[in-house]
Amino acid sequence: MIIRMSEQRSLDDMLSSAEGMSDVELHRLKCERILGATAIMLHERGHTDASGLLAEVTSLDLDYLGEDWNITQLEAVFDVEQLLGDRFTEELLDQIRTAMGAVVERGGEAIQRVRVRPLIPPVSADWRADLKAAQSGRQSNHARRVRIEPQHPIEDALHFSNEWEQRVYQVLKEQQEALPDNETLGILPLAAMRVLGHTYEPDLLITYRGRAGIIEIDGPHHKGRRSDDASRERLLRNAGVKHIDRLDVRDSTQKPEVEKFVADFLKHLGA
C-alpha cells in the first residue's frame, strides 16, 4: 500500500520557504521531515513493525559525528516513552537505519548509527505528593509502570491514559458488580505484556469465563494505523487472547453507547 500525501502543505514546502526561522526551528523541521519520510519508506517496503514504532517516536534528533570523504556522518536519536524502548530490537533498528540512510544520502549525509533515548517525565511542583499518591496503589493488580503525571485519571488505585479509558472501565465495573460471584470478570487497565519479542500495553485486558479479551480505545490520532493494529492483534490471538475489539472515542461520548459496546464484547468473549 502506498501512502499518499494529504492536501496539506508538505514539510518539504515548509523547508523550502523557511526564511525567518531560527536554526533550532529549522533543525526540528528537518528532523521531522526525515522521520516521516523514513516511516513511510519502511511502510512501503513492508516493514510495518518498524514504521509503526517510528509513528510512536516523540521526536528525532540528529547528532553530528564528523566527516568522512566529504559525507556528513550522523547519529539518529529517537526520544520515546520508556515503555516503548525495548520494542526497538536490533533488527528493527537496522531496518530504520538503512531506510533513514536512503532518505538523507541525497543531502550528502549518512546515518552512522541509531539509538533510543527515553523521555524525561514531566515534573510538577508538587512531585513528592504525586509520587506518594502513585506509590500508594503499588499493591494493586496493576502491572504497568505507574505514571506520576497528575493529569492521568486514577480510580480504585488503577491508572488510565485518558478519560475515555476510564469511562469504559466504569461501565465494565458496573457489569462486574451485577454478575454473580461465581461468574465475575477481571479488569486490568494498561497491563503491560510481553508477546514474541514485543511489549504491548492493551488499554483494557478483560478476563471472563476462563477467557482473556482486550478492549482498545482509539483516540482521535489513531487514524491510519490499521495494518500495524492487525499485525499486533494477530500476535495477541496467537498468545491466547480470544477476542479483541476496538472502540472509537467518537462512539464513547454517551454512556448507553459504551454500555452496548461492553455488552457485545462480553457476549463474544464468553461465547
Query: pLDDT, tens digit, for every residue of 108-152?
Result: 999 999 999 988 877 877 788 777 766 665 444 444 444 545 456
What's the predicted TM-score (pTM) here? Answer: 0.49
Cell numbers at 167, concatenated: 469511562
Dist CA 269 CA 212 (whole Å): 8
Backbone torsions φ then ψ of 77, nearest 5 degrees: -120, 120
User: Residue 77: what pLDDT?
Assistant: 94
- Percentage of residues in the chain having pLDDT higher than 70: 79
Residue with cell 511489549: 199
Model pLDDT for residues 210-234, shown as the tens digit of each residue:
999 999 987 654 444 555 567 788 8
Q: How far apart are CA 168 and CA 147, in angstroms?
A: 19
Kindly give the pairing relationship between strand 198-200 and strand 154-155.
Answer: unpaired
The predicted pLDDT at position 260 comes to: 92
Report, as an integer, the average pLDDT of 68-92.
88
> Residue type for 167, please?
R
